[in-house]
Chains A and B, each alone.
Chain A
Amino acid sequence: MGTARYITRRLIFAVCLIWGVSVILFAMINAIGNPIEILLAERPGITDEIIESVTKYYGLDGSVTDRYFTWLWAIVRLDFGTSIIYNLPVSEMLVIYGMETLKIQIPGIVIALFVSVMISVLAATRQYSKVDFGVIAGAMVGHSLPGFLLGIILILIFSYWLGILPSYGAYSTRNPVMGSEVIDGLWHMVLPVSMLVFFNTATLTLLLRSSLVDVLRQDFITAARASGLPERRVVFGHALRNAFIPVLTYLGILFGLMLGTAPVTETVFTWPGLGALYIMAIQQLDYPLIMGATMIITVMLVTATLLTDIAYVVIDPRIRLG
């Protein structure tokens, strides 16, 4: 089967998957009951007539299927409705808050990837040395540390004790750092990105180091050395590319769940991103926002999985497309 056909098939599958999630999401939200009733009930001066007319205004009096298809057609056109709490278009909010999330998540993954490659090579080429054991121990600790704990420790050291880095937010309300909005933004990113880099590096290093140790033992590595290739080329060209294959899945999940795993970091650093927004939307039952954010997270995860599958085909010629 050709690559184009393979990708087409995966694409169709991805669309079906997203559609399936939309059905489940709608069914679950629907099961909570009429949002107008929940939001307005028990408030002074709200009568049944008012509830009925508002329900009608939002088109919530139709049958379940009618309402589902109305919603589906709307989200296909990227119209996620209007946030009940903020009274702003959800699509606009998803973009603004989503960007803030990506601003810390993407550097958090990309930097971690480079760091973990360097550390893994350092450890795996010195297997069972003190360096290697140190790396394993550090990665294990980092991997098992609760997410929020490190964030709080970082705030304690760098914001509270040393007072050099901001402990919350993405921008200063007044007096940006060094008078520049750009530097101010970057300055605020340091702590949350460090926290993400730390956790991602720990897990990626655990995976990559052991994979690399396995590959370095293979005959083709000895053969590459026996051919006179320089050690740098043997490790980075021949070993690392093979060692990376099992790590690819994890990397895909990491990218896919970028928005889904954001709440912890964003809560600790009061970061105005999609994670924090999502948690708040759930707490305040902002239906359009919950549904919009869930769909975006779904699309991200499915897209990342699709890209992972394609990356496998590119990196590993042994994969049979079928």
Chain B
Amino acid sequence: MTDIVDRPNAPDSGQPATREPISTSSEWTFELIQQYDDEIAKCAAEFGLDTYPNQIEVISAEQMMDAYSSVGMPVGYNHWSFGKQFLSTSKGYQRGQMGLAYEIVINSNPCIAYLMEENTLPMQALVIAHASYGHNSFFKNNYLFRTWTDASAIIDYLVFARHYVAECEERHGVDAVEQILDSCHALMNYGVDRYKRPAPISASEELRRQKEREEYQQRRLNDLWRTIPKMGEDDDPIRRKKRFPEEPQENLLYFIEKNAPLLETWQREIIRIVRKLGQYFYPQRQTQVMNEGWATFWHYTLIHRMYEKGLVNDGFMLEFLQSHTAVVYQPPFDSPWYSGINPYTLGFSIFTDLRRICENPTEEDRHWFPDIAGTDWVESLHFAMKNFKDESFIQQFLSPKVMRDLKLFSIQNDDQEDVYRITAIHDDPGYRVLREKLARQYNLSYREPNIQVWNVDVRGDRSLTLRHIPVDRVPLGQETEEVLRHAHRLWGFDVHLESVDEGTVVEEYHCPPQELEEE
């Protein structure tokens, strides 16, 4: 008998055990989902996957669209942008242009995964393995998630946020709240301190402290702005030169929340809510390749384990593999379907190759990965999953073989040259360059402009100056003025943004716009 399916977990285990498959039809029932989950959990335990308890929720396609449009949050405050998302999702879905995601999984404890009722049984099993064991163990163990999110508090916090925003709408009107939210959303990606560990979020704590904060904030603000210089005092040139803040601040929302002169308390609270959500999503933005790669690796591995145990039959595997193949398909750069590197493919390839390096290392592997080649693969993969983010993960684990398999190459587009240049390809001289470039591509500050709070004119017009540090002369995009308007709305006084490349100001933006005048 020839096997149609390879057996990654047990190359020498021969024929499947004589156990009956759990089911042979592709229709699912709740009992079957329960049985599959039990078996997948057993397999996951064999490989030492450490997860939060699971909550699997079966939902309809319409509900999936709802979940989609609230960026996967099970509860959210109301905002038009989610409505816009919903409209475009449902339009795409109804026209059949777009399938819905098979699953949405929430970084919470218990870990909530949504299954769509339209999925077939093999799909449900795939999703359970992928989300409830793959993503779930990633959420629980990756250091970024451990540092930045608190899975057991998030749902409560979201409920708190929803109520708070609704209450504000009642008191101050939908329009006023919408304006603040619009502005906060524009700066949401700038609501995180990358180098400070945040306090964990908790709804009850939040409520308790809210009152305290109200009083305290007003007092503090008064201190900061009680600056009308007295005559003859404060002529000290050093003190006058001192900037506020003394060190640049990368957390724009935090800075505004704490220091904007005119905001009312409820407006500061809303900034805080958006900031906390930004913080919650911050790890996801930095671990997409790893997170999807890890989950894909585990659905692949766990379902194959079930096959080895004889729990699923060939028909099941064919359907499973078809879906799996679609998930990890990487169109080449010149294909009409190409839209960048598929994070599922990249992550899955790296984890899969990592396992190979552990189990069957070649000379090349021993040279490139002396510490990993030949080690226990389960342990090594867990180590990689726990202690890295996309950038460092690629830098550390992208192997020459994966680069060859994906036929990676890097291309340079310099606006000072009239040609594109191929700077590295998947060959000996290229591996390290390629790896470094790909890693950098996932560095958040390379993907998003580096903008920080530079100064507040505390003694003068109270204007806020932001500073952009360009990388490789890449300028800011067209929406910059627009974003600045939002910053201005929050700050309440003039806002300036200067791009400073190696000490010289290369570009300036102002809100309100300034008359052009030579200095």
Partners in one complex: no
- Where the two chains meet, the residues of A that have a C-beta atom closer than 8 Å to any C-beta of B are none
- Where the two chains meet, the residues of B that have a C-beta atom closer than 8 Å to any C-beta of A are none
